[in-house]
């Protein structure tokens, strides 16, 4: 091999080695640039997220302050309204007490009952105003059921009445329409 060939071979080898070294360095540099860009992007996203979160927090705090102010205002209005209602209820209760005393006096005069009995009757009708009409409605419904039941059996003697009574009371406390179905069999 001639000297020129040796130089050319050495130059080609050095060039190939230099090319490999430069490609490796370029690859490493590219990797560093990509990592730096990714880190910068993450920092930028984090900064933007913090900024947006701060803006949202500020807006939410403003809205919360408005809500608190409105709630306080409405709370005060509700308190005033409740105080008015309580006043009206007290007035109404005083009027009812006066009416109850009048009714007790009327019951004593008309029914000639004792004071305690009159108070009990007035109290019962005031605390449970529909009791008397409910009782009467139920009684009339049971009489209708009894009439149909006895007609179906063709007998109205004491034994049949006792059988009806036992049948209707054995159904328990249920609506009369269901009690009628229960004793129909």
Domain identity same for 116 and 135? no
Give the residue-averaged pLDDT of 67-77: 89
Torsion angles phi and psi, residue 94, rounded to 5: -60, -40
Burial class (CB in 10 A: 0-12, 13-18, 19+), 45: exposed
Give the residue-averaged pLDDT of 13-39: 87
Domain identity same for 140 and 164? yes
Domain identity same for 125 and 135? no
Does 68 have pLDDT greater than 80?
Answer: yes
Number of domains, the chain = 2
Element (H, E) at 129: none
Residue pointed to by tokens 């308190």: 79
- Whole-model pTM: value is 0.40
Q: Which domain holds residue 182?
A: 130-185
Domain identity same for 45 and 73? yes
pLDDT of residue 164: 93
Residue 179 neighbours by CB distance under 10 Å = 20
Does residue 18 form part of some domain? no
Contacts of 153 (CB under 8 A, 6+ apart): 160
Domain identity same for 183 and 117? no
Domain identity same for 151 and 134? yes
Domain identity same for 120 and 153? no
Does residue 9 form part of some domain? no
> Distance between CA atoms of 57 and 55, rounded to whole angstroms?
5
Does 162 have pLDDT greater than 90?
Answer: yes
For 112: left if phi > 0, alpha if psi spans -120 to 50, otherwise beta; the answer is left
Domain boundary among 113, 129, 145: 129
Domain boundary among 129, 154, 173: 129
Does residue 19 form part of some domain? no
Domain identity same for 142 and 63? no
Domain identity same for 57 and 134? no
What digits encode the pLDDT tens for the residues 79-138?
888 888 888 888 887 887 787 788 778 877 877 778 888 888 777 777 787 888 888 999
pLDDT of residue 146: 93
pLDDT of residue 58: 92
Domain identity same for 88 and 134? no
Domain identity same for 49 and 125? yes
Domain boundary among 110, 129, 148: 129
């Amino acid at each position: 091999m001639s000297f020129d060939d040796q130089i050319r071979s050495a130059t080609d080898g050095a060039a190939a080695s230099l090319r490999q070294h430069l490609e490796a360095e370029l690859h490493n540099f590219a990797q560093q640039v990509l990592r730096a860009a990714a880190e910068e992007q993450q920092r930028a996203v984090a900064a933007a997220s913090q900024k947006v979160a701060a803006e949202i927090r500020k807006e939410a705090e403003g809205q919360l302050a408005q809500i608190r102010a409105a709630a306080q205002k409405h709370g005060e209005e509700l308190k005033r309204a409740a105080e008015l209602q309580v006043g009206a209820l007290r007035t109404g209760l005083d009027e009812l007490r006066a009416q109850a005393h009048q009714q007790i006096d009327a019951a004593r005069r008309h029914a000639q009952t004792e004071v305690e009995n009159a108070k009990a009757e007035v109290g019962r009708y005031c605390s449970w105003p529909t009791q008397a009409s409910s009782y009467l409605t139920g009684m009339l419904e049971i009489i209708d059921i009894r009439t149909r039941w006895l007609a179906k059996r063709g007998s109205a003697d004491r034994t049949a009445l006792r059988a009806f009574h036992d049948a209707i009371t054995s159904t328990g406390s249920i609506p009369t329409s269901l009690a009628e179905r229960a004793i129909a069999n």
